[in-house]
Amino acid sequence: MNFDDIKDNLKSQWGQTWSRIEESSFYNQMKDRFENLSPAHQKLTLMGAGALLAFLVISIPWSYYSTSTENVTLYEDKRSLIRELLKVTRESSEVPDLPPAPPAEVLRNNIENQLRMANLLPEQMKGIEVVAAESQLIPRALLEGGLKISLAKLNLRQIIDIGYNLQAISPSVKMNEMRITANSEDPLYFDVNFKLVTLAVPHASSESLESGEDEGGKNDRKPFKRGNR
């Protein structure tokens, strides 16, 4: 069937449909009402009908456009989310393993060395005591121990330097709390309480280090390397 045949077929179908519309009672009632209107009202009616027809014609492609825009937005949101998940996964795989936290006595000695290096007077060092390992950010099961360092009559520079040095002792030692109050004797200086917590990093067991030995007594596995503290 060529184009002319299709066009003739459409004309024939439209003619039949229009004939049925003209024969309907609803069309004749609307036609009578329209002819009884004043010329001004007839003009307004034609303008309204034209606007309605234009709206119907425009609404169809507009609905497709709106749907496609929403689909594009949804696709871009999901793509951004997938990229963020891949980024987080990649960054988490690149995080180095934490070394085990130093023993309590070693940690205490390191803190005392840091305080001595800060050239504090004996009356400024109020003591180091063991406290419960508690943190609002880290679950209790991941904490091993806690220490509280009490200092007095520090200036702001000393507070910043000592706090930084304490935080840098080990990746497995975290600054959990720092409370600063004005000194009661000299308001120009401050009393500070630092609270450190150690993370419960699991140690490598000796069984896992020796399980790679073969029958000849040779170990075919590489030795376990502990991270630098």
Render pLDDT for 46-93 as a digit per residue (tens, 0 to 9). Answer: 888 888 888 888 888 888 888 888 999 999 999 999 999 998 888 777
In tens, the pLDDT along 140-196 reads 777 777 889 999 999 999 999 999 998 888 888 888 889 999 998 888 999 999 998
User: What's residue 4's pLDDT?
Assistant: 73
In tens, the pLDDT along 203-229 reads 654 444 444 444 444 444 444 344 443
User: What's residue 227's pLDDT?
Assistant: 40
| DSSP classification of residue 30 | H
In tens, the pLDDT along 99-146 reads 777 888 888 888 888 888 888 888 898 988 888 777 776 777 777 778
Measured CA distances, 69 to 28, 52, 73 (Å): 44, 25, 6
Give the three-state DSSP class for 169: coil
Per-chain mean pLDDT for the chain: 79
172 within some domain = yes
24 within some domain = no
Give the three-state DSSP class for 32: helix
Q: 194 is in which domain, residue-wise?
A: 104-199
In the chain, the number of structural domains is: 1
CB 182 within 8 A of CB 190: yes
CATH of the domain at 167: 3.30.70.60
Closest to 176 in 3D by CA, of 209, 153, 210, 142: 142
